[in-house]
Each structure stands twice: as structure tokens, then as C-alpha cells.
Structure 1
């Protein structure tokens, strides 16, 4: 199951989603349905373990807040660039948490907004019963 290019990006994060498949067409890699969230925070962009864990916790916290609106597909949030040590000298500061949370809300919120703007598929209404049908 490949995700392809990111469906949404911010300065530091990217959101990837698995393509939806027809039910029964693909083996059940993610049993139970629902939204699945993976997090990728490489050492390349967050050298200190404390920072990586802080970012992971922020990703899961924001996703938990927005659970109701997330698509029922496997998703991966990926750190795509590091936070500047000049701007955030502490490995885990409130400023870093605020900045990461704001970007994650923008990232996931952007995806939700796009999903809500998508046109709904019109389902034809059932025809009203005819008087002749009722007599039969």
C-alpha cells in the first residue's frame, strides 16, 4: 500500500494518506477500519530524543482532538524539516510545543477543510408509490 505524495504540507510537517481501495479488493492491513495514524520523526530533523518524543506527543494530541473529522484511512504525519535551534534552544519548550501544535492544527485542519468542501454524492430519492400500486 503506497501513499504517494503528501496530501498536505506545512513548513515542518507533511501528511501522507493511503489511497482508498474497494472493500475486499486488498488484504486487510488495517483491521477494524477507522483512522490509523503513523508518526515519522527522523533523527535527521530532530537530533535529541526529547524533541522527537515531544513532537510525537504533539502530533498524537492534535490528531486526538480532531478524531471525529479525520478520514477513515491510514495516515502518516512526517517531520520534513527541523525546528531551528536558534529559535528553540530548549529541547522541549512551551514555545516549541505551541509552534508544532499550531502547524499540526493547520496541517490536519487543511485536510479536513478540503474533505468538507468536496461535493457530496447525490443519492437519488426512491420514487413515491403510485395509487395503482397500492390497489394491487
Structure 2
């Protein structure tokens, strides 16, 4: 199963990388990492002591800080979708394209390396060719192009 990227920091991290593969209308970005985890908010401790007491101590020396644990190897895939209104004006079209992105990722995901994936619509489909925003030809064209895009992305990098 493919998880969802939810945090904007993860989207920014993946989109900062160059596309792993491109097609006429889409781009696939990939980072071999796990999604970031939000920091737990620290509980505020209310003290009954006066603030004129002892001054706070200095922070610990850098050498005394615990070592940061290395990020674990990613297991699984997380998907983020970017379908801007600039390229798909009608909600029907945006939803159709997002459904196709999820379906193709679910079917072709086993061949792809683990990590964070963002599929992005980078150019609009021609309105002269696809007159209806939710048409079957548009659905088939998007699906075929996404299959090709992910096949290229699955190929080993040189």
C-alpha cells in the first residue's frame, strides 16, 4: 500500500530534487527517505518559584549532546500529488487526474524504489483535443502517460 505525504516540509524536500523522470504533462520526483515526523510539543512547566532566583545554567557543550541517530532506511512508499489550477482549471479534471495518479502508483509501485514520491502535473492537456473535462479519452491519455512516466522512473539510475 502506498502512504500519503501530508507535511509541506516533505513536499518541499522532494520537489527540491530534480525530476527522476518527465513526460509531456507530468514529472515524477523522488527522495529515498521516510516522511518527517512532527516534533512533540514540550509541556510548559509552571514554576511557583520567584524569577529572581538563580540564573539559568548554560546549555550543555556540543560534545556532551547525544549523537543524532541516523535516518532509517526507507521502507515503503509515500505519494504526494501536485495538480495546480493553472494547468487543470476545472475540479472535475483535477480530480480525474489525481485518481489516475493514485491508481497508476498503486499498480506500478512495486517496481519503484522505496521513499517519498511526488507526481506533478507540469503542463495542461489541450482543450481542443479533450473538450470534456471528465472524458474517457482524457482519462486514458493521462493513465497511459503516467504508466510510461513511472516505467522510466523505475529504470535504474546511471
Shift of residue 114 of structure 1? Answer: 2.8
Q: How does 1:25-36 map to 2 (within 5 A)?
A: 25-26=70-71, 33-36=75-78
Shift of residue 33 of structure 1? Answer: 3.1
Distance 1:66 1:5 in 2: 21
Structure 2: which 5+ runs fail to align? 1-9, 35-68
Distance 1:39 1:114 in 2: 23
What TM-score comes out, normalization by structure 2 length? 0.64
State the match for 2:83 in structure 1. 41
State the match for 1:50 in structure 2. 92
Distance 1:106 1:49 in 2: 25
Query: What root-mean-square deviation, in Å, do the aligned CA atoms of Structure 1 and Structure 2 show?
Result: 2.0
Distance 1:12 1:108 in 2: 13
List 4+ stretches of structure 1 deviating above 6 A.
none
Q: How does 1:68-79 map to 2 (within 5 A)?
A: 68-79=110-121
Distance 2:109 2:33 in 1: 18
CA deviation string 1:30-70 (max 9, x = no partner)? xx831111110000000000000000000011111112112
State the match for 2:135 in structure 1. 93
Bigger Cα Rg? 2
Structure 1: which 5+ runs fail to align? 119-136
What TM-score comes out, normalization by structure 1 length? 0.74
